[in-house]
Amino acid sequence: MAVIRMLATDLDGTLIGSANEFPLYNDFREKVQVLRHNYGTIWVACTGRSLSSFNEFFSPMRMMGIMPDFVIVNHAYIYSVGNFGCLPHLLWNLRIRYLIWASQLYVRDAIDEWHEMITGVSLGVSTIRRKSDRLCLRFDSEESATVAANLLMEKVKPYRHLKVFRYLMEVDVRSVPFTKGLAVSELAHHLDVSSSEILAIGNGHNDISMMDKNVAQLVGCPANSEDEVIETVHKAGGHIAKKRSLGGVLEILDAYADGTVCCDFPQEWVPPAKGHNPSIVRSGKKKKQKFNTIRVLLFLGVAYVVLVVFANFRMIPYVSGIIMKPYKLFLALLEKIMTLLW
């Protein structure tokens, strides 16, 4: 049976899903109370929402008497939860803000260096996307992509928030939202809780940083998790739940309580390396977006023509002159062009 002194849970899609899970609230409240009684467990709700958005979104659980001990909002900033609401830990949050700023500088320089290194040694590579916190490359073979991915995995080790993903012939180095893990680690440090006593549960890319072994050695994810999250939990030996959202959270808590943790992949799970990069817009989607843009422009053009017709007959009081002005300028310009040509 695992000793859990800190429970760090994601909010959207993990604690609160799209389905009606109200019947599970009592069960969750009881399990948290048992953890608090047995181990003095501190529950931390982690979210990318602002504090006001969290308070509104979390209100159904609050009405059921379910409240965390701490809240991490905007993926990074720590608040204590008490009788008078949520109070910020200013000094802790200032340190987190500094670490975020410093890491962004380091990552920008590293991305530039790695781009020059990879493109310099490989001829069959093209750059799909290059930003201050991201580098996506396409290779001419899966073998080349694998070699590059392995090389970059070694390079990113000092950067806990940088991850390397390989999708067929593409290698994507990107900064996953790392501040949740940073905030959980900072909070655990001040509360003297070791990573071996922290259970982190989440379902999205922004939760992966909480599942780093330096942050939490006990991890789990519900069935509705991103593929990369499932892979992370599998590698860490955590519990991959068969149920979604809060049902999955309850399953994870039971698994750690009963010693029945299972990290087996779901039957229908496909490794990310065998699929397409979901964060890159494919050509079909680009064409669809372009088509939608053309439709909008055509609609605006037709709408303006209709307005011009009505304005020409003075059927739109007060603004007919304004509507006709661009039309008259266009006619004058067209007349000048025709004069020059003929």
pTM: 0.69
CA–chain centroid gap for 4, Å, is 26
Look-up of token digits 């200032």: 94
Q: Indicate whether 333 pLDDT > 70.
A: yes
Q: pLDDT tens, 272-318?
A: 655 556 555 444 444 555 556 787 788 888 888 888 888 877 778 77
One DSSP character per residue, 104-121 reads HHHHHHHHHHHHHHHHHH
Whole-angstrom CA distances from 89 to 71, 76, 149 are 11, 11, 39
Question: Which pLDDT band, with edges at 50, 70 and 90, does 332 fall under?
Answer: confident
Residue 293 structure tokens = 């843009």
Residue 227 structure tokens = 């593929």
Task: List the domain boundaries for the chain.
Answer: 6-94+178-270, 105-175, 283-341
pLDDT of residue 277: 62
Instruction: Confirm or reject CATH 3.40.50.1000 for domain 6-94+178-270, answering yes or no.
Output: yes
pLDDT of residue 279: 57
Q: Where are the beta strands (DSSP E) in the chain?
A: 6-10, 42-46, 70-73, 77-82, 85-88, 125-131, 134-139, 162-167, 170-175, 198-201, 218-221, 239-240
Q: Indicate whether 48 pLDDT > 70.
A: yes
Higher pLDDT, 263 or 107: 263
pLDDT of residue 219: 97
Question: Which pLDDT band, with edges at 50, 70 and 90, does 337 fall under?
Answer: confident
CATH of domain 105-175: 3.30.70
Amino acid identity at 22: F
| pLDDT above 70 coverage of the chain, percent | 92
pLDDT of residue 283: 47
Instruction: Pick the closest to residue 50 from 68, 67, 73, 71 (CA basis).
Output: 73
Q: pLDDT tens, 61-91?
A: 999 999 999 999 988 899 999 888 899 998 8
Dihedral in degrees, nearest 10, Cα atoms 233, 238, 242, 247: -100
Question: Average pLDDT, stretch 205-211?
Answer: 90
pLDDT of residue 36: 96
Question: Average pLDDT, stretch 318-327?
Answer: 80
- Give the Cβ contact number of residue 101 at 10 Å: 9
pLDDT of residue 34: 95
pLDDT of residue 15: 92
Q: What is the mean pLDDT of the chain?
A: 86
Q: Point out the least confidently predicted range of 142-146, 227-231, 232-236, 316-320.
A: 316-320
Q: pLDDT tens, 130-175?
A: 888 889 999 998 899 999 999 999 988 887 678 888 888 899 988 7
